[in-house]
Amino acid sequence: NAGVTQTPKFRVLKTGQSMTLLCAQDMNHEYMYWYRQDPGMGLRLIHYSVGEGTTAKGEVPDGYNVSRLKKQNFLLGLESAAPSQTSVYFCASSYSGRANEQFFGPGTRLTVL
């Protein structure tokens, strides 16, 4: 039981490049989330999904897109990376909504030059 895994762990991009971050969970959770964490700050929600085929915007969605084609995977895309998107990205999943805890992945450290 691996829990929540994230790929890749580290990535360096040049401004304007695109990339996709992959999140996978093996707990059969319905809900999945993408957060970003900037230095010295708490996590901020980018997008989330309440089930396969669904996505919704969070607190800071601009510049990102997501897809949930399979229940166990949640992809975060950056179409044209900007230096302001340099951050640590965390994925999380939960069985359902507010009554259940979220389980977090180890994070992806992204640097945009």
Partner 1 sequence: DAKTTQPPSMDCAEGRAANLPCNHSTISGNEYVYWYRQIHSQGPQYIIHGLKNNETNEMASLIITEDRKSSTLILPHATLRDTAVYYCIVRGNDMRFGAGTRLTVKP
Sites of contact with partner 1 (CB under 8 A): 4, 33, 35, 40-45, 48, 58-59, 88, 90, 92, 97-99, 101-107, 109
The nearest distance, CB 82 to partner 1, in angstroms, is 22
The nearest distance, CB 62 to partner 1, in angstroms, is 16
Which residue type does 20 have? Answer: T
Distance in angstroms (rounded) separating the CA atoms of residues 100 and 8: 27
- State which residue, 28 or 39, has the beta carbon closest to partner 1: 39
- State which residue, 33 or 74, has the beta carbon closest to partner 1: 33
The nearest distance, CB 101 to partner 1, in angstroms, is 4
Distance in angstroms (rounded) separating the CA atoms of residues 48 and 22: 14
3-state secondary structure of 85: helix
The nearest distance, CB 102 to partner 1, in angstroms, is 7
- State which residue, 77 or 107, has the beta carbon closest to partner 1: 107
- State which residue, 48 or 81, has the beta carbon closest to partner 1: 48
Tokens of 92: 């999380």
Distance in angstroms (rounded) separating the CA atoms of residues 42 and 12: 22
> With 0-12 CB in 10 A as exposed, 13-18 as middle and 19+ as buried, what is 94?
buried
